[in-house]
Amino acid sequence: MANLDPRVVSSFGEEWRKFDHVATANAEELKIFELYFGDFPWQAISRDAVAFDLGCGSGRWAYFVAPRIGVLHCIDASTEALAVARRKLADHPNCHFHCASVDEIPLTDDSADFGYSLGVLHLVPDTEAGIRNCVRKLKPGAPFLLYLYYAFENRPVWYRWLWRLSEIGRRLISRLPFFWKSKVCDIFALTVYWPLARFACACGSLGMKIENFPLSAYRNRSFYEMRNDALDRFGTALEKRFTQSEVRSMMAAAGLERIGFKAFPYWCALGYKKR
């Protein structure tokens, strides 16, 4: 059985058709990209490097990676998502597109100079197996960048309880047909994401500590990004969360070493395949 959830694949195909990021402001997308790739060892990556983007979605991260290397394999289980990515990356002929799940990555083992999977592998049935399959495609010593949803272990108890309440909403909303699911998430972005994000922004400008303010990470984000992420969060039928120690253990078990975590976002980690 393929390591994917058909409901998730279908939902994200529809999501990327709605939020294709083709016309979004590159400045905002670049800032988000740099949050993930800020510590990536670009200085050690050659211009003719071969890499893969596992779960490329709309291609919004590949857009910034492709100009830096020789070949970028954009892999996604959704044909709809790949159609969006092709449009987004039309000016980058070094992007090759593959419709495949994480257990069917169409690359030779030990062949890629680096790889990354951002916000994807917490949406598959077997996350640890997914990480192993990604690492298998890397050359020895190659870096792998991973982002998985965190389990709020670094947050106050009340914050974790608030998330549990939100889980009720996710389980209900994710069962709706896409049209209604999309509309509900747009309303949620307007009535919850936007007010809380702007409140955090205002408090931050007054010098208040806002690290534990709900949705404070969106304080400088556009409403487009809020709508996209509201659908991303509440529209998916499968969501898994991991502690930092669990992420580290899975990465180590997959054959990665020198594993390091960014201070934010949680949990974004970089590891290197053992030689």
**DSSP-derived pairing of the beta strands 71-76 and 268-273:** unpaired
| Same domain for 113 and 81 | yes
| Same domain for 57 and 42 | yes
| Same domain for 167 and 113 | no
Question: Structural domain tally of the chain?
Answer: 2
Q: Is residue 253 part of a domain?
A: yes
Please name the residues in contact with 268: beta carbons below 8 A apart, sequence gap of 6 or more. 35, 36, 118, 145, 146, 147, 261, 262
pLDDT at 25: 55
Please name the residues in contact with 160: beta carbons below 8 A apart, sequence gap of 6 or more. 152
pLDDT at 171: 95
Q: Yes or no: say if 122 and 240 are a contact pair by the CB < 8 Å rule.
A: yes
Q: What is the mean pLDDT of the chain?
A: 95
Q: What is the DSSP annotation of 159-203?
A: HHHHHHHHHHHHHHHTTS-HHHHHHHHHHHIIIIIHHHHHHHHHH
Q: Is residue 210 part of a domain?
A: yes
Q: Is residue 65 part of a domain?
A: yes
| Same domain for 247 and 229 | no
Q: Is residue 1 part of a domain?
A: no
Query: Which CATH number characterizes residue 91's domain?
Result: 3.40.50.150
Residues in the chain: 275
| Same domain for 184 and 143 | no
pLDDT at 26: 78
DSSP E strand boundaries for 12-66: 50-54
pLDDT in tens, 7-35: 999 999 999 999 998 776 578 899 999 99
First to last CA, the chain: 31
| Same domain for 172 and 78 | no
| Same domain for 40 and 172 | no
Q: Is residue 190 part of a domain?
A: yes
| Same domain for 33 and 16 | yes
Q: Is residue 83 part of a domain?
A: yes
Q: Is residue 137 part of a domain?
A: yes
- pLDDT tens over the chain, length 275 residues: 789 999 999 999 999 999 998 776 578 899 999 999 999 999 999 999 999 999 999 999 999 999 999 999 999 999 999 999 999 999 999 999 999 999 999 999 999 999 999 999 999 999 999 999 999 999 999 999 999 999 999 999 999 999 999 999 999 999 999 999 999 999 999 999 999 999 999 999 999 999 899 999 999 999 999 999 999 999 999 999 999 999 999 999 999 999 999 989 999 999 999 99
Host domain of residue 56: 6-151+241-273
Structure tokens at 38: 């800020």
Q: Is residue 80 part of a domain?
A: yes
| Same domain for 13 and 79 | yes
Q: Provide the 8-state DSSP code for 112.
A: B
| Same domain for 227 and 205 | yes
| Same domain for 225 and 142 | no
Instruction: Determine phi and psi for 23, rounding to 5 degrees.
Output: -105, 10
| Same domain for 120 and 27 | yes
